[in-house]
Amino acid sequence: MGSRIITVSQDGSADYRTVQEAIDVVPLGNTCRTVIRVAPGVYRQPIYVPKTKNFITLAGMRPEETMLTWNNTATRIDHHQAARVIGTGTFGCGSTIVEGEDFIAENIAFENSAPEGSGQAVAIRVTADRCAFYNCRFLGWQDTLYLHYGKQYLSNCYIEGSVDFIFGNSTALLEHCHIHCKSPGYITAQSRKSSQETTGYVFLRCVITSNGKAQYTYLGRPWGPFGRVVFAYTYMEDCVKHVGWNNWGKTENERSACFYEYKCFGPGSCPSKRVTWARELIDEEAEQFLAHSFVDPDPQRPWLAQRMAVRLPYSA
């Protein structure tokens, strides 16, 4: 599989001035890894990567200097695509929407700039399989990172928010990520709907930080009755409530939700004070969640390649 490079800069010195223009020239049914190199700047425009525009890479230099931002909310959407294409409500309000498979982003910040109190305001929705994010930043308040469908791998990323700010029903491994809780709420809202689904979120060797206050956020609540979330080897500041998890006001969720921790530490890690329906995994149970095979399960058709101890998609 060959590759091509497209450049973007707002000053007119590159192939295109906007990221969307660069995406638009990638053909439907794309099979060629297409790297869109994005010059530093704040790009204020909703971004849409359509289905079958596969194998796109967005690459910046530093996520602090290269930002894709817009301010849609679930109740107010201003977009260059029609609602029949991108959807409505929370599903359609992402500043960036990725529906093309084998998508990669590195050194990019994805932001929804809607202010606190705006309700659901997604920075990025990912509805695509085999997507990877490296050294990216996801900025917002409520519903920041919508990992909706498919398998995703996030490495060395920063994710901030308040309410349900990592949510959806994909199969995602977040490794060495920084989770920052800006105000009271819930870190995760995973929506697994049956025990047969293999979806879930694993946070492996991550860090959870606070705004300086204590006891104001939950690790998660089940958006779907079988919501599955694992925190392993993760440092938790004291912003995490001692009880850890919330049942979303439904006691029946306590029988089906799969909320686990494994060898976490820090002042927010309080196994003895957690709700009785969440638990600490034993070594044998944890094993399936601690390897990249959680998001790359088929050894005959792997999509993550081992490169200098970093997992990169083979398609890159």
* Catalytic machinery residues: 164
Beta partners for residue 109, in sequence order:
67, 137
Query: 51 CB contacts (<8 Å, ≥6 apart)?
Result: 99, 100, 128
Dist CA 202 CA 230 (whole Å): 5
Using DSSP, state whether 280 is helix, strand or coil. Answer: strand
Question: In Å, how far are 20, 111, 194, 289 from 46, measured between CA atoms?
Answer: 8, 10, 33, 34
Dist CA 245 CA 21 (whole Å): 43
| DSSP assignment string, 155-181 | ES-EEEEEEEEEEES-EEEEES-EEEE
Dist CA 315 CA 103 (whole Å): 9
Other CB atoms within a 10 A radius of the CB of residue 188 amount to 27
- Residue 166 in contact with residue 188, Cβ under 8 Å? yes
> In this structure, is the dihedral angle defined by the CA atoms of residues 240, 273, 191 and 291, taken in order, positive or negative?
positive
E-strand ranges in 251-302 read 258-262, 279-280
Place of tokens 């979120």: 201
Looking at residue 115, what DSSP letter applies?
Answer: P
Classify the phi-psi angles of 48: left when phi > 0, otherwise alpha if psi is within -120 to 50, otherwise beta.
Answer: beta
Looking at residue 76, what DSSP letter applies?
Answer: B
